[in-house]
Amino acid sequence: MPRVLLVEDDPSVREGVEIGLCQRGHEVHAAVTGEAGLEALDAFRPDILLLDLMLPAMSGVQVCSRVRETSQLPIIMLTARGDDIDIVVGLEAGADDYIVKPARTEVIEARIRAVLRRAESPIDARPAVEHHGELDIDRAGHTVLRSGDPVALAPSELKLLLHLSAVPEQVYSRQRLLKEVWDHSFHSDIRLVDACVRRLRAKIEDPSRDPRYIQTLRGYGYRFGPL
């Protein structure tokens, strides 16, 4: 069962989520502040970080950026609906998904599982490593090299890249990507896709040119290539 680091300042939410997840067999470490959460990272070594956006002192967004500086730990933000701008900023900072409070434990657990689910390995007899321009994508090893250098990708970024590059030049609508990559069961926030695309582009594209790998089809969605 995954180890969950929960950073939440409100005692009732913290305790409620902790109880709910523990009951389902998760190992949970709860931190009250962002600073405490960052400290607990090394000792607790979580599989996933559940991060409240509205924290006293160091905000959730700041914690998110700090974590992303050194690690590609899956991050899910806890937010309240209406904190729309914070959601966008949090997604830009590198969060993989978000949950709107209040939420039932089964919803929280489903999100955790979706984020942790590894991208499906190729079932056909593809070569283990695909070469797309300067990108080397290792589907089995879940690594991506750009001009030979490894690229650190957050779980959602890696999954999106693997999903799009599995069928180059196939156009995916944002709704479809939400469903297939994020496992959102019905209409959700397309900003999740847009923010992830931006983060992915920042890591693999040449900033001085138009996007080459992740291309936009205005009004329809995204596709990988053509190169």
Q: Considering the complex, what minimum distance in angstroms separates the CB of residue 148 from other proteins?
A: 27
Q: Residue 158 or 197: which CB sits closer to other proteins?
A: 197
Q: Which is nearer to other proteins, 155 or 221 (CB)?
A: 221
> In whole angstroms, how close is the CB of 132 to other proteins at the nearest point?
19
Looking at the Cβ atoms of 38 and 160, the one nearer to other proteins is 160
156, 147, 205, 221: which is closest to 184 by C-alpha?
A: 156
CB of 116 to other proteins, least distance (A): 19
> Residue 191 CB, nearest distance to other proteins (Å)?
5
Residues at the interface with other proteins (CB under 8 A): 10-17, 19-20, 23-24, 80-82, 84-85, 88-89, 92, 101-106, 108, 173-175, 185-191, 194, 197-198, 210-211, 216-222
Does 168 sit behind a cis peptide bond, omega within 30 degrees of 0 on the bond before it?
A: no
Return the number of the residue (69 or 210) whose C-beta is nearest other proteins. 210
In angstroms, give the least distance from the CB of 121 to other proteins.
27
**Nearest distance from C-beta of residue 48 to other proteins, angstroms:** 16
Q: What is the 3-state secondary structure (H, E, C) of the chain?
A: CCEEEEECCCHHHHHHHHHHHHHCCCEEEEECCHHHHHHHHHHHCCCEEEEECCCCCCCHHHHHHHHHHHCCCCEEEEEECCCHHHHHHHHHCCCCEEEEECCCHHHHHHHHHHHHCCCCCCCCCCCCEEEECCEEEECCCCEEEECCEECCCCHHHHHHHHHHHHCCCCCECHHHHHHHHCCCCCCCCCHHHHHHHHHHHHHHCCCCCCCCCEEEECCCEEEECCC
Question: In terms of CB distance, is 32 or 103 closer to other proteins?
Answer: 103
Residue 102 or 133 with smaller CB distance to other proteins: 102
Token pair in block for residue 206: 């040449």
